[in-house]
């Protein structure tokens, strides 16, 4: 089997005395979409922050494209080809849409191709072309989310980290965002690690998924099989099986191979 593009092994990370993730291990094969699910406080965002260098893990290893990157500065992680779209979008509110997009390409030296990529990302998000001279802070929430994703794509990343892209959006916009995520993966071949609470949407586009609970991986399987599991149906999709009784009992079972 080929080596995964990204591998986390027994990662532990804390915020001061509070341990946020405990012994998290996961793999992201190149060209695939992998989802990480979990309730608020499960440690999903912390996983992405440790990958992108925003937070240093206290234990464990992170291997990207064959090299260890744990405790690497965020700018160096970006130079390796990892783009992080954080929770809450975090666009530059006083810069225009066009300026925000160009900020996504600030590490690139192939300036002749940057213009091509501006046109490319606007094909995914036509509204950004219409708003290219508008300040980003005046965009709607959905438009800002599109801008944040498009800005990350301007890096031409090998790995795209997406943190809660559906947060605060209407169901119609959520559907549109996830269709574009799926297109980016299929048409560009971009590997995607997706953190999301909307399990139905995330597993609908993911090749594989992990479920976090209290900082630990408690379940993993292909996206389609996770959608059929009773625990996922009940606790993440709101579908209760009358045959499920008692307290939640997670059994981690690896079926990726």
pLDDT tens figures, 196-229 = 888 889 999 999 999 999 999 999 999 999 988 8
**What pLDDT score does 197 carry?**
83
Q: Is the pLDDT of residue 245 over 60?
A: no
Confidence of residue 250 (pLDDT cuts 50, 70, 90): very low
Mean pLDDT of 111-136: 92
Helix/strand/coil for 99: helix
Q: Is the pLDDT of residue 252 over 60?
A: no
**What pLDDT score does 1 carry?**
56
For the segment 142-194, what is each residue's pLDDT rounded down to a tens digit? 999 999 999 999 999 999 999 999 888 888 889 999 999 999 999 999 999 99
CA-wise closest residue to 226 among 249, 200, 244, 246: 200
**What pLDDT score does 203 carry?**
93
Q: Is the pLDDT of residue 255 over 60?
A: no
CA angle 164, 149, 117 (to 5 degrees): 165
Mean pLDDT of 76-100: 94
DSSP code, position 120: H
How many Cβ atoms are within 10 Å of 256's Cβ, its own excluded? Answer: 16
Mean pLDDT of 38-65: 94
Under 8 Å between Cβ of 22 and 14: no
Q: Is the pLDDT of residue 62 over 70?
A: yes
What sections of 125-165 are H helices per DSSP?
A: 126-130, 141-153
Confidence of residue 256 (pLDDT cuts 50, 70, 90): very low
Mean pLDDT of 81-109: 92
**What pLDDT score does 160 carry?**
97
Mean pLDDT of 134-138: 94
Confidence of residue 109 (pLDDT cuts 50, 70, 90): confident
Pick the CATH number of 28-56+74-236 from 3.40.630.30, 3.50.50.60, 3.40.50.300, 3.40.80.10: 3.40.50.300
Confidence of residue 238 (pLDDT cuts 50, 70, 90): low
Q: Is the pLDDT of residue 247 over 60?
A: no
Confidence of residue 39 (pLDDT cuts 50, 70, 90): confident
Mean pLDDT of 238-244: 51
Distance CA 57, CA 232 (A): 28
DSSP code, position 138: G
**What pLDDT score does 243 carry?**
45
């Amino acid at each position: 089997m080929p080596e995964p593009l990204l591998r986390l092994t027994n990662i532990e990370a804390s915020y001061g005395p509070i341990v946020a993730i405990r012994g998290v291990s996961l793999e992201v094969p190149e060209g695939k979409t992998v989802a990480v699910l979990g309730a608020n406080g499960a440690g999903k965002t912390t996983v992405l922050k440790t990958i992108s260098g925003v937070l240093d893990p206290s234990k464990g290893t992170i291997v990207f494209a064959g090299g260890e990157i744990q405790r690497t500065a965020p700018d160096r992680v970006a130079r390796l080809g990892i783009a992080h779209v954080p929770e809450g979008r975090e666009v530059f509110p006083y810069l225009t849409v066009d300026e925000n997009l160009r900020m996504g390409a600030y590490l690139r030296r192939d300036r002749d191709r940057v213009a091509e990529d501006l046109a490319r990302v606007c094909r995914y998000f036509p509204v950004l072309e219409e708003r290219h001279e508008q300040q980003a802070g005046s965009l709607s929430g959905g438009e800002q989310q599109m801008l944040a994703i498009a800005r990350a794509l301007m890096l031409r990343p090998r790995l795209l980290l997406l943190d809660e892209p559906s947060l605060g959006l209407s169901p119609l916009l959520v559907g549109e965002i996830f269709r574009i995520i799926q297109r980016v993966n299929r048409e560009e071949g971009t590997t995607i690690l997706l953190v999301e609470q909307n399990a139905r949407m995330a597993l609908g586009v993911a090749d594989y998924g992990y479920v976090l609970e209290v900082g630990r991986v408690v379940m993993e399987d292909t996206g389609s099989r996770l959608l059929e599991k009773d625990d996922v149906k009940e606790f993440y999709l709101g579908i209760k099986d009358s045959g499920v009784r008692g307290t939640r009992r997670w059994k981690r079972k690896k079926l990726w191979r």
